[in-house]
Each structure stands twice: as C-alpha cells, then as structure tokens.
Structure 1
Amino acid sequence: MSGKWGDLSARVWSGVAMAVVGIGAIVLGGVWFQMLVVFVTAVMVWECWIMIRGTSPVSGMLIAAGVASVLSAQVFDGPATREFLLLFLIAPVVGLLVLKRERLTFAIFALAIQVAGWGLVHFRLDYGFTWLIWLVSLVVVTDIAGYFAGKALGGPKFWPAVSPKKTWSGTAAGWIAAALVGAIFAAFTNAGWVVVAMSVLLSFAGQMGDIAESAFKRRQGVKDSSALIPGHGGLFDRFDALLGAALALLLVAEVLNVPGVDF
C-alpha cells in the first residue's frame, strides 16, 4: 500500500494493540487502569521534555519518574484533598527552573497532562465504566472519521498554519461521528439526549488538544513526539485528543450541572 494510504497498515495494527490494552484496563478498572494512566502520563511528560531539550536521557527519565511518583501517590489510595493536587506543580516548576527555552510551554503541558490523567482515574472511579468508554469512544471515532474523511475528501484546511494535514471535511466528519456515538449512548443509557451535544463539544475539545500538540511540535521542529509506536509516533501523538477531551469533561463535571446526564 502506498501513497496517501501508505501509513494505514502500521496505524491499524498499532491502534488495535493500543485498543486492546486500553479497553482491557478500563474494563478491569482499579489498579490496572491506574497503572496504565500513570505510565501514559509520565511518558507524555517525558516526550514534552525531550522535544524541548533534545536527547537528554537522564533528565528526561528523572522528570518522568517524578511525574509517575506524584500521580501514583494521588491515585493509589492517596490523599483525597484538592490541595494535594498542588504536587502536580512540581514538574512544571522544574521545567521553569531548568529548561533554557519553552519553559512556559512545558509547564502548561506538563500540568495539563497530569490533571487530565488524574481526572481520568477519578472519572472511572466516580462515574463508572460506561461513561469512560463513552469518552474514549468519542476520541477514537473522531480520529478515525477525521482520518478517512480527510484523506478521501480533502478540501480546505482547518488550520494550515498549525496543522497542515487537517481539513474541514475531516473535522466535520469527526463531529458527526461523535454525535452518532452520543445518540447511541442516549438511546441505551439514562443520559438523555443532551449527551449528543456534549459528545460534539468533547469531540471539538479533543481536536483542539490535537491542534495544540501539533503547534507544540511545529515550534520544536519535530514530526512526532517520539518513535515509541509504529505508525503513530509517540504516546503524546495518540493521546493528545484524549487530553483535550478529558480536560473539557473535567470542566463540565466540575462547573456545569447538565440536566439528564448522570455525572
């Protein structure tokens, strides 16, 4: 397979492997899901660090270990107080003190990644398996629909200065796919039809997470956050949309009282 579909095979097989691990951890919940979130979160912060600082294995490993330790203390029966979340500032502060450039960029992404990881763990604990599957499904179908519609239909670019490959056709296809997922959950759960609108909102938030990471990579002059996953780049490349969607969902659950949605 070549041309514009040349990366499809590697993307599919890597995607299947990630889906099996991710869905298995979500279904099992508890320590299995917590361990996966801690690992992914630490690696994403590490990827942010090495994109800025380059090949610096010792400092990169130290920052990842620190993030894993802080998040583990929070999710593995750690203190439940919100004040404990201040520990998530450790990695951003280290970046502000150590890095010679992109200090604020690293600090913002490191904090956002940790908060999103913490939110996913507590969302699984507080709201259960169904709603985490809903969130992940939104991100996955938005990405798949956007990929195929963008490749097949092409058309005007969504934000060419930041993400040259993304098109309006792919973006809109992602919203439509997310709305369909929301409709399925509305039909078979007690969420109410407002979940359809929320699905589109979180789909857009996920796309913005993808856009934000694309802008970050362009500033660093790199194509992928790392080379850990064949056909996909790094973990940050795969979970950037989930980062945006999770942060948006945390905001919705914390600030808004959405009628009909059992959060």
Structure 2
Amino acid sequence: MSLPETNPAKWDDLTVRFVSSAAMTFVGAIAVILGGVWFQMLVVFVTAVMVWELWMMIRPKEPTKGMLMAALVASVLSGQLAYGHLWGLALFLIVPVVGATQLRTEAKTFFIFALGIQLAGWGLVHFRIDYGFTWLLWLMLVVIVTDIFGYFAGKAFGGPKFWPKISPKKTWSGTAAGWVGAAIVGFIFTIFTNAGLWVIIMSMILSFAGQMGDIAESALKRRMGVKDSSTLIPGHGGLFDRFDALLGASLFLILVADVFDVPGVVF
C-alpha cells in the first residue's frame, strides 16, 4: 500500500498551483511597479475577463455573448481611463444594461456585479495615479495578508463559521485573524511613511471590505451552482476567484476617497 505522501497527483497539483501563483505575482508586480499604461492595460484585461466569467456563470451556453460583453468592457474602460472624467463613470452603465437586457433571468445579478467590477477596476487605476505605488502596495498587502492570516488561523483554530450558508469554510477565527494581519500591515506603514496611526484603523476596515468582496463572490457562485468562476488559471479557478477581495477593497476606497476624502487625511 502506497503512502499518501508518495501520491504523484497530489504533488502535480501543488506544482501547478505554485507555477500559476508565481506567474500571476510576477506579471502583477511588474505592472504595478511600472504604473501608467502598463498597469492600465493589465487592469482592463483582468476586468474584461471577470465580466466574461460573470456572464459564463449565468449563461454558460452563450459564450459568444460573453465574449462580446468582455470586448465592450475593454472598450468602455479603456476610453474612460484615457479621456473620461468623474461624470463619465455613467458610461459604466452601458455593459450592465446591455447584458441585463439579454438575460431572461439573473438580470439584476449581472447588472450589480458587472457595474461593481468595472468601478473597482477604474478605482485601482486611479488609486495608483492619485496616491502612487506606495499606497497601492498598501492596498494589495492588506488584501494578501488578510487572506494569509485568515487561512492559517482558520485551519489552526477553527471554531464558529462566519457565514455558513454562503461560505461554509470561513470561520470567525480566520476573519478576526485577517483584521489583525491588516493592522500589522498598517502599523508597518506608519513606520516607513508619513501616515498617521489612522492608517491602522483604515487597514482593518479595508480588510473587512475585502472579506465582503470574497463573501459576495462566494454567494454568487453558490447561487449559480458553480465551484469556480472559470478554469482559466490552472489550480486556482478564475480571475474572479483570485481578485474578489481586491474588488471589495477597491470599491471601499472609491467611497472613502471620492466621498469622504479619507485617504487625503490619513495619508
């Protein structure tokens, strides 16, 4: 009888996941560092693919319409980033409206998620432009560290589920650990930047916003009866699965930056 550790399939999956993660990290890091058109192109591509994944979860038998939705997203977002102003965000209604009119069911679901995905993508680009590499790095580290702390704490401590009907694997211990990890990231940034202690609180709130993005996508997948948003990324699922928390965090920052101007005070 062979031991579990010698099962080659297990290690093959681990290798695929590691290679996929390394590739995504490398491409993303380069784009974030370079900024400008390079980061914009990556965001436009990822945003368009996520809207395609959204469509395919709702209407998997109509892939052509899904590709047309993705192309329309890329066109609208590219044009808005190049020439648009804040009032031009109304253009982001085009894709949700067009998509919703093509759906007999789940039209509201598509409308809400498609609009949120586009606004989050726009927010990431403008956060990079308005606040620079350092604070986009802060945003990404908060999301990443929240996920890492939450994963290991949930595995180690277990306990009551955070929202069992929607995401049965998430626990309160993992959720709280994510907030702690985010607070640590915020504290580190108070040491190496001019940010005040408010950034620690902001980090924890941002962590929660990211967790809600994850929960929202989990609810969507459960509603659609699918395990992953797609199979584009070997060993990981789809781009929507990988960036759901970042979408939630980005939408939160749009609110605090453009409505309350919190970043201007904290940073």
Which residue in the other structure is 1:17 paired with?
23
1:78 to 62, 76, 83: 83
For 1:69, which of 75, 90, 96 is the aligned residue? Answer: 75
- Gaps spanning 5+ residues in structure 2: where? none
Q: Tell me: CA distance 1:82–1:30, structure 2 relative to 1, closer, same or farther (3 Å).
A: same
**Residue 45 of structure 1, aligned match among 42, 51, 60:** 51
Q: Which residue of 1 aligns with 2:222?
A: 218
Kindly provide the CA deviation profile for residues 160-204 of structure 1, in whole angstroms up to 9, marking residues without a partner as x.
000011111111111111110000011110111100000000000
Q: Secondary structure at the match of 1:158?
A: strand
- The Cα of 1:260 is off from its aligned counterpart by 4.6
Percent identity of equivalent pairs: 69
Root mean square deviation, CA, Å: 1.8
What amino acid does structure 2 have at the position aligned with 1:65? Answer: A
Query: What is the deviation of 1:228?
Result: 0.9
Q: Distance in 1 between matches of 2:261 and 2:92?
A: 27
Q: What is the aligned partner in structure 2 of residue 128 from structure 1? A: 132
| Normalised TM-score (structure 1) | 0.93
Secondary structure of the residue aligned to 2:212 is helix
Cα 1:154/1:13, change in 2 over 3 Å: farther
Rg larger in 1 or in 2? 2
Q: How is 1:23-38 mapped onto 2 (pairs within 5 angstroms)? A: 23-38=29-44
Looking at structure 2, the residues matched to 105 and 163 of structure 1 have their Cα atoms a distance apart, in angstroms, of 18
Q: Would the aligned equivalents of 1:190 and 1:261 in 2 still touch at CA under 8 Å?
A: no
Q: How many residues align?
A: 259
Alpha-carbon shift at residue 8 of structure 1 (Å): 5.7
Instruction: State whether structure 2 residue 168 is matched by structure 1 residue 177.
Output: no
Distance 1:13 1:206 in 2: 25
Deviation at 1:10, TM superposition (A): 4.4
Match of 2:164 in 1: 160
1:244 Cα deviation from its structure 2 partner: 0.4
**Kept in 2: contact 1:113–1:243 (CA 8 A):** yes
Measured in 2, the distance between the counterparts of 1:148 and 1:111 equals 33
* Partner in structure 2 of residue 91 of structure 1: 95
Tell me which residue corresponds to 2:257.
Answer: 253
SS of match in other structure, 1:232: coil
CA deviation vs aligned residue, 1:60-92 (integer Å, no higher than 9, x gap): 1100000000001111x212x222211100111
Report if aligned partners of 1:145, 1:170 keep a CA contact under 8 Å in 2. yes
Kindly tell me: are residues 135 and 126 of structure 1, through their superposed partners in 2, closer, same or farther at Cα, counting changes over 3 Å? same
Letter in 1 for 2:27: V
Unaligned runs of 5+ in 1: none
Question: Is the CA contact 1:190–1:260 (under 8 Å) kept in the aligned structure 2?
Answer: no
- Matching residue within 53, 63, 66 for 1:57: 63
Following superposition, the deviation at residue 153 of structure 1 comes to 2.2
Query: Matched residues in 2 for 1:9 and 1:177: separation?
Result: 27
**Matched residues in 1 for 2:16 and 2:166: separation?**
25
Partner of 1:231, secondary structure, is coil
